Structure 1
Amino acid sequence: MQDIPLIIAPDPDESEAAEVLIDATVDGRPRRFLLDTGAARSQLLTDPHTAGLATVRTEASYGAVAETSNELVCISELAVGPLHAQDLEVVRVAAAQPGARDLLGMDILASACCRFDLAHQQLRIEASPHPDAALPLVMDERKHCYVELDWTDAQAQACFDTGAGLTIVDQTFIDKHPRLFEPAGTSTGTDATGASFQTPIFLMTGPVIGGAQFTAHTVAAIDLSPVNATLDLPMDLILGYPTIRQANWLFDFPARRWSLSRIAPS
């Protein structure tokens, strides 16, 4: 078992939003990443080191509102705590692209049993199979992880995404279940492709997740139908920081099991 420190960077414009950052090394060079379970591949900004890497190939990438094409390059090693990957293909993006970040994705995390404890700013790597991971974990071919949200008369499938500063709800789900959502203004965001967009903000009634009752919190509404059209498992929500911070989440990725424990409100 090993704890890796996390850095929580609050959003200056959205009181409930924040980024979850983690330090790692690429080919022996230190870099700070956004911890992003919603990213199938890790991503690096172009800099003097990555600019010299040959493009291996390109592939399509999909954000919440736009599509783009990414260059893939091969790095010798990406290391974070006890996790190491060698000869890894990662996405390279221009540093000038709006919203572009170094991302630590599921190509690294999916090999481990991970406990996401944002309250104590830790990513804990534990042994697999883990006896506390009691629930079956649904993962798609891109290694996105899905959990179910329950209300009295509604259920939703959500992607667990530590890279999302806000939780995102499909506008269609809000239209079907308006009693769960109270309008709370608008916000401007940037998706994974760098596309900027304005979105309505709602206060969402707290759901039950993994048998635990969550409190009401802020969410953003987006039409997720374009990105859902690219997925084999469509999603109603993208669980971001305001939801994730309410619990201690255990994902045993190799064993395809998970569980959580609620954190008492401060």
Structure 2
Amino acid sequence: MTVSLSSYPPQQIAVLEAAYDAAVARKRLRFAAGLVVFVALLIVASLGAEVAPKTFVEKIGNFVGYFDRILNLDTGSRVWTDPAEWFWGWQKWLKLLAETLLLSYVGTTIGAVGAFGLNFFAATNLSPHPGLRFVVRRVMEFCRTVPSIVFALIFVIAFGLGPMAGILAIAIHSIGALGKLYSEQAENIDMKPLEGVRSTGASWMSSIRFAVLPQVMPGFASYTLLRFEINVREASVMGFVGAGGIGQELVVAVRKFFYSDVSAILLMIIVTVFIIDILTGWLRGRLFGVEQRV
């Protein structure tokens, strides 16, 4: 197959090259202007937040030094030279870690159920009334805007120390976060099955059941597993305000300067999160297949 290329006069080629160079120059100018504005805003924000690079440079040694201290036993030797001494309280810590996992599981389950019930009213293409959609969206925004640790502190004051406060805090925050993700998933569905079901005279609930749920359930399950992983870390922090779990033991170790205990508890939390990440990834693969995960 022969391909012929048109031949243009040098004058026309020069005009095209000039137009191309001008377009490239304008694009580069816009990029440079945007970069200058970004840097300027970053500087202004840093000044407003009282960011002090000098202090960071001067104090970074304290940060590194603390991690060096938590890797030492009371005898002065490194923690890995005596694992039995390092993890002396592993039985108690495992029980508290299990409490953290159960706290996260129950809170995530309650939050997922609440988000599942609200998200269809918040989706633009599914909500039966604009006013209802507005109210539901504001409720979910409130749930996810207030930090979960603030909710935990409020519930600790109301219900006392213990896992109940952590469960409620995680549940409320999960309703807001998962509700947002669920509703966005619902807004991106293929509308043809929904229109087909509606054309038969089906009710709003039946339309959701037969046309929407088959499309969104894989995404809902994937988001829920991811939220559970996040909530495990959230639950570990909530112990700082007395909401139960391993976090309470960690904050005691930090306040009493039990350096080796701090590193042991942190290591147990990190390993647990790693395991959960691997298991949830495997479970998503089993449920939806590798193709959908990618």
Between Structure 1 and Structure 2, the one with more helix by share is 2
Structure with larger Rg: 2
Q: What's the TM-score, normalizing by structure 1?
A: 0.25
Q: What's the TM-score, normalizing by structure 2?
A: 0.24
Between Structure 1 and Structure 2, the one with more strand by share is 1
